[in-house]
Amino acid sequence: MATTKPRLILIDDDPIITDTLHFTLSNDFEVYAAESRQQAKSLLRQLDAPPQLALVDLGLPPTPHSPEEGFKLVSELLAHAPSMKIFVLSGQNNDANARHALALGATEFIAKPCAVERLRELLKNALQLQDAECHAESTRTGCPLVGNSLAMQSLRTQIQQFADLPYPVLIEGESGCGKELVAHCLHNLSARKDGLLLSLNCAAISPSLAESLLFGHARGAFTGAVGTNAGYFEEADEGTLFLDEIGELPLDIQVKLLRVLENGEYQRVGETQTRICRARIIAATNRDLREEVRAGRFRHDLYHRLNIFAIKVPPLREMDEDRFALLEHFRAFYSREIKRPPFELEPQARRLWETYPFPGNVRELRNIVIRLSAKYAGATVNVDQLKAELDPVADDVIPGGGALVNDPQAMMEFAQKHLQTETVIHLDQLLRQWEKSYIEAALRLTHGNLSQAARMLGVNRTTLYGRMQTSETEVR
């Protein structure tokens, strides 16, 4: 009996590389190839299921000499399929690029050229870990959120309050913070737990197919509709339908979703028969939907229907000691899966772990643990070894890294050394430069999302915008 090969998408603008890897990896994987970010997104929307694995070059058109297209693609692939294992295979292999790609959620960074057999081994190992993660998720019951910080306690309380209510819930939070896990908790703690929990990533579907996927279609409703298909609303029955990345839904589909939320009614494409949705709707987004409404990209009436109950999943930087609880949790899980003893962190490395902002949230933390587990099984990881796995953005803000600003004594010692090496310090200019550096770092971490950057910096959006305008005026 034939077995289905795991899917692999390869994105590289060098035809020699794509042709070679396609030929050599096709025995083990069903390989799809694209040469740009836009082409990859188009290809993914045509597939009935996302690939489990991806190989991504950072230098992609239209800016092949810059890593920015590759960075954007890593984020978009994970928005499309959060469980995808992404390997960055790139000639732009300086340390900063590697560390930033990993912080965005890539599983591993591999410098070109790479031996095909080593690449094949890495891909197969990633599949094994992915299978273990999927199995753990499928057997998960109740609300297995890790951590006891005030932010996590508040999150658990909200989940328990909203779990068994029939109304929609809107889950908001940054990429990688665990919104899908919260949706599972809401389902598992409800009376619907014996029913289906269906998940649809709205960022992963073609706008032309969105209506058919959600509501189903009749035979002959459109070209290629050779049979009658039930949509997600019908298949969810009396269970739960989780609509991830709800902000990506086209406006015309938002109108139809609003109707379902208002009176439970919908129709298959090509039918006039009215059907009734019995599923509970949970939606999630990493966008600021209020900003999307103001920009005309999201319907205000749909926003208010979804936002009857809202849950804000906190970023990892707000979860205090939970980063150590998550370290213990993932370290135990992955050391058990790879059958090797767990690593330890030396005291200085633990202090760095405590102060690092984890811009990629829990997903980034998990991937760091996976890499440390593989590289330093049974060993003690020092601060330099740990720092090599972290995003350098925190180091770019001020000399000494992110730990400096959280340690008044270290800050004072740094200032003293600085004063001893300079004749005069222009304090106002220095403070403006620090502010400008933090703003630029926050915007880079949030890919230019002003609202998310403002939350990261602890100011409101208008204050951040005003400071950016002031900075630009001073530059002029």
Last residue of a domain, one of 109, 138, 167: 138
Query: Six-digit token pair at 145?
Result: 């959120």
Query: Six-digit token pair at 268?
Result: 């298959």
Residue-number span of the structural domain to which 115 is assigned: 7-138
CATH of the domain at 122: 3.40.50.2300
Across the strands, what pairs with 55? 10, 87
**Could you tell me which of 357, 361, 316, 314 has the C-alpha nearest to residue 176?**
361
Residue 357 lies in a domain: no
* Contact (CB, 8 A) for 278 and 232: no
Verify that 115 and 55 share a domain, yes or no. yes
Verify that 290 and 167 share a domain, yes or no. yes
**Coil/strand/helix, residue 53:** strand
Verify that 96 and 174 share a domain, yes or no. no
Verify that 284 and 166 share a domain, yes or no. yes
Verify that 305 and 159 share a domain, yes or no. yes
Residue 453 lies in a domain: no
Distance CA 284, CA 182 (A): 10
CATH of the domain at 219: 3.40.50.300
One digit per residue, pLDDT tens: the chain, 476 residues?
A: 445 899 999 999 999 999 999 999 999 999 999 999 999 999 998 888 899 999 999 999 999 888 999 999 998 999 888 899 999 988 876 788 888 889 889 999 998 888 899 999 999 999 999 999 888 877 777 788 999 999 999 999 999 999 999 999 999 999 899 999 999 999 999 999 999 999 999 988 888 888 999 999 998 888 777 788 889 999 999 999 999 999 999 999 999 999 999 999 999 999 889 999 999 999 999 988 998 999 999 999 999 999 999 999 999 988 878 999 999 999 999 999 999 999 999 999 999 999 888 988 999 999 999 999 999 999 999 999 999 999 876 544 334 444 455 556 656 666 765 665 555 677 877 788 788 878 888 887 776 777 778 888 888 888 888 888 776 555 44
Residue 398 lies in a domain: no
Q: What pTM did the predictor assign? A: 0.76
* Residue 323: alpha-carbon gap to chain centroid: 17
Verify that 127 and 174 share a domain, yes or no. no
Give the alpha-carbon dihedral of 269, 275, 279, 283, to 10 degrees. Answer: 40
Last residue of a domain, one of 298, 314, 330: 314
Verify that 158 and 19 share a domain, yes or no. no
Verify that 53 and 123 share a domain, yes or no. yes
User: How many folded domains does the chain comprise?
Assistant: 2
Verify that 233 and 133 share a domain, yes or no. no
Last residue of a domain, one of 264, 292, 314: 314
